[in-house]
Amino acid sequence: MNNYAKVYMCIAGVVALLVMVSFRLHLTDIMLLFGGDWRCNDEFRDVNALGVFTFRNVCLEINTTPMRRTMHFINSKKSFVETLRIVVYDATNNSKDSISVSGSGNTMWNFWDVTYNTSRIPNEYAYQTDVAAYFLAFTCPGNLHHFLEDEFRTLQSLVSVTNRLRSGCRNRLLYRAPWDLDPSEMDCYDVRTYEPLLALLNFDHEHDAYYRMPANTCFRYGVFGNADFSGGKRQASDYVIGKLGIDYDRCELDVVTVIRRRTRRILNADVLINVTVSEGFGRVREVAMEDLSVEEQIRTIACTTILVGVQGAGLQWAVFMRPGSTLIEIAWPEKHWRFYFKGYITPYNIYHRGVLAKHVRINWRVYQDKVRGGEVVSSRERAILMRSAPKNMALDNVWKWADAVVNVEHYRAALRSHKYANMILRH
């Protein structure tokens, strides 16, 4: 190192020290100032609209009066204690507030208790100057439908409008409540299931309740709430398709994918496959989606022309299909399991065709395991449940856990309807 370089480093060090003393900056601020990647910070855009609020200098501190909350599950309720509080430093006043924010209508947790402090952040706090934290309330993050509709689609638009989708940006997702209180509910609440999708939004950490963060952690930006700022429903799905480098034009044509499930099985799937081939579709495949990684599932669906499956959360994958594709949804509304996805997938320019089940057989083993915690349902109670309407369609509906024989002629008509619709589009 020559003398000029040594002199430059000494001057830079003195300047940094004077700036820190004068403005009480943290070391991380100085690192950003002298060569750090501050592009994301410089170009962050505050959002204060549609029930979303942005604050600067947001810290998580020990809560001297911890708050006990209760979460309600299908068969139980569990309590948890919020051991940290949210403090906004450099505020215009010293006060406390409970702010109502936008979010899914499927949760009662769209609020945050915030303390405002006019002081600067204490120097001993861990100030993550290059991280934007997004605070939101989940509904059922382990369920594909609720994850995409209640969380991911709007979150992608929010991260985009705050300008944090840029390469090199670091984001943190903090949930309103814990996800692992009841092990029997992990199918619904496991936040790890779709983490690969959240990673595409620059969320590079495990996602958990905000109060489980290390005490005295601070973020330069805190965004509270979750709302749709996109120009259309397809923005989030098209973003994912682009990030994964998927090209619809490279996909094989006329591919039909039949979803194979462990529950709500199609008992005559082999017959449907033969009918599909007889109708002239080049390739038919039966796929167990749960055996694939998240990326593999998206790639499978993106190159699917017609997706066939029984009503359930997995049909939400249809939002990643090419516009003009078709979802064939199988249901049995006369037995309390109705068609559901038309309103959710048609805004993505995906056709929807409903096909009725010809026969439905309740799978009591699955119902007992999923709903009754393994308790055996007696023959007498089975008879009562079969002739009674469910009290709660989503929870105690025995017909939700049925297997089906699909009406073949209805299915054939749905295939032909797709061909007719695409023939009109081509002309």
Q: Are residues 206 and 65 in the same domain?
A: yes
Distance CA(332)–CA(315), nearest Å, equals 16
Mean pLDDT of 121-146: 96
Q: Are residues 389 and 288 in the same domain?
A: yes
Distance CA(248)–CA(264), nearest Å, equals 30
Q: Are residues 374 and 284 in the same domain?
A: yes
Tell me the range of 179-193, 309-323, 391-405 where mean pLDDT is highest: 309-323
- Asked if the structure places residue 22 within a domain, the reply is yes
Distance CA(29)–CA(34), nearest Å, equals 9
Q: Are residues 198 and 268 in the same domain?
A: no
Q: Over 90: is that where the pLDDT of 219 sits? A: yes
Q: Give the up-direction half-sphere exposure of residue 377: CA atoms within 13 A in the CB hemisphere.
A: 20
Band (pLDDT 50/70/90 cuts) for residue 207 is confident
Q: Is residue 246 a contact partner of residue 298, using CB atoms and an 8 Å limit? A: yes
Q: Over 70: is that where the pLDDT of 141 sits? A: yes
346-401 pLDDT tens trace: 999 999 999 999 999 999 999 998 888 899 999 999 999 999 988 876 667 999 99
Which residue has tokens 């959240």? 198
Phi first, then psi: give them for residue 115, nearest 5 degrees: -110, 135
- Asked if the structure places residue 246 within a domain, the reply is no
Write down the pTM of the prediction. Answer: 0.89
Pairing outcome for strands 306-310 and 326-331:
parallel
Cα→Cα distances 2→5, 6, 104, 244, 410, Å = 5, 7, 60, 47, 82
Q: Give the up-direction half-sphere exposure of residue 122: CA atoms within 13 A in the CB hemisphere.
A: 10
What is the CATH number for 282? 3.40.50
Q: Are residues 359 and 418 in the same domain?
A: yes
What residues have CB less than 8 Å from 302, skipping those under 6 apart? 241, 246, 248, 251, 320, 321, 322
Sheet holding 208-209, edge to edge: 95-100, 111-116, 77-88, 53-72, 217-224, 126-136, 170-175, 208-209
Distance CA(147)–CA(313), nearest Å, equals 10
Q: Are residues 120 and 36 in the same domain?
A: yes
Band (pLDDT 50/70/90 cuts) for residue 185 is confident
268-303 pLDDT tens trace: 999 999 999 999 998 999 999 999 999 999 999 999
Mean pLDDT of 84-88: 98
Closest CA to 130 of 19, 224, 37, 30: 37
Pairing outcome for strands 77-88 and 326-331:
unpaired
- Asked if the structure places residue 348 within a domain, the reply is yes
Q: Are residues 307 and 182 in the same domain?
A: no
**Residue 94 in 3-state DSSP?**
coil
Residue that terminates a domain, selected from 169, 200, 231: 231
Which range marks the domain in which residue 288 is found? Answer: 252-426
Q: Are residues 26 and 138 in the same domain?
A: yes
The overall average pLDDT reported for the chain is 90
**Residue 240 in 3-state DSSP?**
helix
- Asked if the structure places residue 34 within a domain, the reply is yes
222-246 pLDDT tens trace: 999 999 999 899 999 999 999 999 9
Residue 99 identity (one-letter amino acid): I
- Asked if the structure places residue 5 within a domain, the reply is no
Residue 47 identity (one-letter amino acid): V
2-54 pLDDT tens trace: 555 554 555 555 454 444 444 444 444 444 444 344 567 668 999 999 999 99
- Asked if the structure places residue 360 within a domain, the reply is yes
Band (pLDDT 50/70/90 cuts) for residue 427 is very low
Distance CA(157)–CA(47), nearest Å, equals 12
Q: Are residues 216 and 142 in the same domain?
A: yes
Q: Are residues 185 and 269 in the same domain?
A: no
Phi first, then psi: give them for residue 185, nearest 5 degrees: -105, 15
- Asked if the structure places residue 238 within a domain, the reply is no
Residue 257's DSSP bridge partners are 285, 307
Distance CA(412)–CA(356), nearest Å, equals 12
Which pLDDT does position 305 carry in this prediction? 96
Overall number of domains in the chain: 2
Residue 309's DSSP bridge partners are 329
Q: Over 80: is that where the pLDDT of 173 sits? A: yes
Residue that terminates a domain, selected from 202, 231, 260: 231
Q: Are residues 226 and 258 in the same domain?
A: no
Name the token pair of 174: 């903090």
Residue that terminates a domain, selected from 231, 262, 292: 231
Q: Are residues 76 and 111 in the same domain?
A: yes
- Element housing 63 (H / E): strand 53-72
Distance CA(213)–CA(211), nearest Å, equals 5
- Asked if the structure places residue 243 within a domain, the reply is no
